[in-house]
Structure 1
Amino acid sequence: MLISVQALRALAAWAVVCHHFMQIFFDFHASGPIGQFFSSKGAVGVDIFFVISGFVIFLSTQNCDMPAGRFMVNRIIRIVPAYWFYTAVMGLLLLVAAPLLPHQVISWQNFLLSLLFIPSENPGGYGLYPTLNVGWTLNYEMLFYLLFSTVFMFQQRHRPLIIAAALFAVSEVLARSGVISRFYGNDIVYEFLLGIGIGIIYRKGWIKQGLWLPLLGIAVAVVTIYHLTPSERLLNWGLPSALIVLSCISLEPIFRGNRVLKVLGDCSYSVYLLHVLVLYLGLLAAQHYGLNPYGVFAVCVPIIGLGAWGSYEWIEKGLHRRMKQWLDNRRDSDTQQAIS
């Protein structure tokens, strides 16, 4: 993994943390330019995540042929355990502290559909959100993985076109005609293709290392995001996010070998899943004791960071390693039985 991409993953995750801090503590009614920026633009971290996801999945599967089922199992054991764990914790929090969190409601139907990555109306009445609200992005991720798993049936040079056609069919045909949930009719799904496109030009060696031109690209992207709303998400935020990813890859020599940034990137998924729980607990403490929101946030940040590190080591990496080893052993055993 490129350290520049790891650093950007971390930055995107923490931008989302700041965005949700402004939502949970201030209902997005913030004073000051920094608060207003994170209130209105912090969600762009999701767009950056999607572009990176397309980039990483494309590169990691190049020169690789595997059954679709094996690809999906690999993604499931990487994504699902941590998500299920934090969804369960969020469900427990909502059961215990429901009167104190009036906008957060839990139902068994929504909870079970959340675990299965099936979009459903949140019982709180604010849209198609799972029990752990940030999990809405994982519904798109799992769709992307499911569609991407089919490309291994085709020659490698055709795979980008196959996944593009599949995403178009799902978003523009099935979702808009009502065959599947309207949730998938969002043009944000095409941001995975932007990442695949970056992966293609990266493999061809067309991304040149530099300093001032990549920095200019990042500046242009940030200014564009600042002045545009996500009303047309792909154009207004998706393309600038792709430019940021592309520019960061060009800056790889600056980041190369930085172990701290690698660790921060490794922990970004757990930061994304964990932070809302910590912020809600911080809100309850602030309400009960009359604490300053920014002081509470200053305490929440290291808790999120340390919690995410532990989550990555014990749930993501540790559990993933054990599950993968078990699956590999079982696959080897089945192969030996078939031979004998």
Structure 2
Amino acid sequence: MKPGRLAYIDSMRGIAALLVVWMHNFQPIATGALRDLIYDVVDPGKVGVIVFFAISGFVIPYSFPRGPAPIARFTVSRILRLYPAYWLSMVAWIALMAIAGEALPSARTILANVTMAQTALGQPNIIGIYWTLFIELLFYVSCAVAFALGLLYSARFVFAASIGFLVIALLLAVARFYLERKAPVAVPLSLSIMFWGTLWREATLNQSAQHRRYAYWMLALYLVAMPPISLLAYDIDLGLEEYWVRYMLSYYIALALFMLLSTRIRMEGRTAVWLGRISYSLYLFHNHAKKAIDLVADAFAPGLNALARIALAVALSLVLAHAIFHVLEKPAIELGKRINRAIADRAPRGAAPVSLDP
């Protein structure tokens, strides 16, 4: 483990990714009590995604490097951390669609997805899970702007940002209810959770009383605001089998899980940490593994039952994620470090505040 790196945060990433993998594999075959659970009570995949967002808030504001050109170096590291594996996942998914004989996305949709900002460009996600990555981009931009203005490490600013995005989520929920249109309630709500994650880091890791106070105030606001936001936004199903209770409870459970795993139960075992290290590729490629197993099984073993297919898909997901991390992600990260060293060597000298290495 790299000095200064928080092993339990890596473990949480692995758990979050497994929740998403579990949901996407079992949701299509769920019946009876299991279907009632994941459609009416709690969405494990959403729980995992919300935990991911809280982790981003815990980590990203502290990933601006010391020394000169911190924003440029932050941008390079984020681009090379996210985009190479993401682009590979796009290419691989389109190839699987072609093999399956499915209609391919338009050139406009593909080009928009290359940017990872397809939501802002009015184009659909080539893979459904990409919606979360656009929110990550928005958070990175928000952090960079706040850092440039000298506000990112201000407890009051982070608290205000978390409240502000929560208010926007509530307003969009009202609009969604009255207009019966798919207003993006999850975007500001997720950003609010991210900034709450920043408060939680300072409260738990650096023992800041001010951040702790703000973090608990935000938790109280979530407790009060989530029922009306969920009821207004998701009481009417607009085509995604939405249900407000499931939406609300998923947020509550995710926040509770994040708090538990970052305080009382800090998992630092080798397997859990390994899952965290490969979690990004696991998140990006688990749908590919499922689709590939289904294609092969349909062609050569049509009698293979659903549970056996899921077991093979999960195993393939882990193998793919491990390989892609070492072959693509890790070299891209190292390339980013080399580029950033060159930027630092050529840039005017200056210092920027920073905390622990994420």
**How does the TM-score come out when normalised to structure 2?**
0.71
Equivalent runs, 1:259-298 vs 2, <5 Å: 259-288=270-299, 289-290=301-302, 291-298=304-311
What does 1:7-156 align with in structure 2 at a 5 Å threshold?
7-23=11-27, 25-26=28-29, 30-31=30-31, 33-34=33-34, 37=37, 41-43=43-45, 44-61=47-64, 67-99=70-102, 105-120=104-119, 129-152=124-147, 153-155=149-151, 156=153
Which amino acid in structure 2 is aligned with residue 78 of structure 1?
R
Residues of 1 paired with 2:331 and 2:136: CA distance? 22
Instruction: Give the superposition deviation at 1:206.
Output: 7.0
CA shift in 2, pair 1:141/1:233, >3 Å: farther
> Any idea what SS the aligned residue of 2:100 has?
helix
Structure 1 unaligned segments of length 5 or more: list them. Answer: 208-220
Change beyond 3 A, Cα 1:262–1:307: same
Shift of 1:33: 4.2
Amino acid at match of 2:117: I
Partners of 1:282 and 1:35 in 2: how far apart?
23
- AA aligned to 1:296 is R
- Per-residue deviation, 1:163: 4.2
Shift of 1:273: 0.4
Q: What whole-Å deviation, never above 9, does each CA across 1:56-111 have from its counterpart, x for those lacking one?
A: 22344598895433322221111111111111111222233234xxxx74221111
Q: Which amino acid aligns with 1:268?
A: S
**Root-mean-square deviation over aligned CA pairs:** 3.8
Give yes or no for contact 1:58–1:199 (8 Å, CA) kept in 2: no
For the structure 1 residues 170 and 95, does the alpha-carbon distance in structure 2 shift closer, same or farther, using more than 3 Å as the test? farther
Q: CA 1:325/1:136 → structure 2, altered by over 3 Å: closer, same or farther? A: same
Unaligned stretches of 5+ residues in structure 2: 177-181, 210-222, 232-241, 350-358
User: Aligned residue for 1:192?
Assistant: 194
The answer as to 2:262 corresponding to 1:249 is yes
Give the fraction of aligned pairs with identical amino acids, expressed as a percent: 24
Is the CA contact (8 Å cut-off) linking 1:95 and 1:106 kept in structure 2? no
Letter of the structure 2 residue corresponding to residue 298 of structure 1: A
- Opposite residue 128 of structure 2, the aligned amino acid is N
Structure with greater helix percent: 1
Compute the displacement of 1:205 (Å): 2.4
Deviates more, 1:240-249 or 1:282-291: 282-291
Q: Aligned pair in 2 of structure 1 residues 248, 165: CA closer, same or farther (>3 Å)?
A: closer
Q: Shift of the alpha carbon at 1:333? A: 4.5
CA distance in 2, matches of 1:293, 1:248: 32
Residue identity in the other structure for 1:267: I
Work out whether residues 188 and 234 of structure 1, in 8 Å CA contact, stay in contact via their aligned partners in 2.
no
**Alignment-mate amino acid for residue 41 of structure 1:** D
- Mapped to 2, the partners of 1:172 and 1:7 lie a distance apart of 32
Q: Distance in 2 between matches of 1:110 and 1:319?
A: 25
2:341 matched residue in structure 1: 328
Letter in 2 for 1:107: S
Deviates more, 1:49-58 or 1:63-72: 63-72
Aligned mates of 1:168, 1:132 — CA distance in 2: 27
Distance 2:163 2:72 in 1: 20
- Work out the CA distance in 2 between the residues paired with 1:63 and 1:266: 24
In structure 2, how many angstroms separate the alpha carbons of the residues matched to 1:238 and 1:249? Answer: 16
Instruction: Tell me: higher relative CO, structure 1 or 2? Use CA pairs within 8 A at least 6 residues apart.
Output: 2
SS of 1:98's equivalent? coil
CA distance in 2, matches of 1:309, 1:276: 15
1:2 aligns with 2:15: no
Q: Residue by residue, what CA displacement relative to the aligned partner does 1:236-292 show, whole Å, maximum 9, x if unpaired?
A: 33343122111112235x634x22221111111110001000101112223333121
Q: Is the Cα–Cα contact under 8 Å of residues 274 and 304 in structure 1 kept in the other structure?
A: yes
Q: Which amino acid in structure 2 is aligned with residue 196 of structure 1?
A: T
Give the whole-Å Cα distance in 2 for the aligned partners of 1:233 and 1:34.
13
* C-alpha distance in 2 between matches for 1:70 and 1:162: 27
Q: Secondary structure at the match of 1:119?
A: coil
Task: State the partner residue of 1:306.
Answer: 319
Taking the TM superposition and a 5 Å limit, the aligned residue runs for 1:191-210 are 191-205=193-207
SS of structure 2 residue aligned to 1:48: helix
CA distance in 2 between partners of 1:334 and 1:185 (Å): 39
The answer as to whether partners of 1:4 and 1:251 remain within 8 angstroms in 2 is no
Provide the rounded CA distance (Å) in 2 between the counterparts of 1:287 and 1:121.
Answer: 37
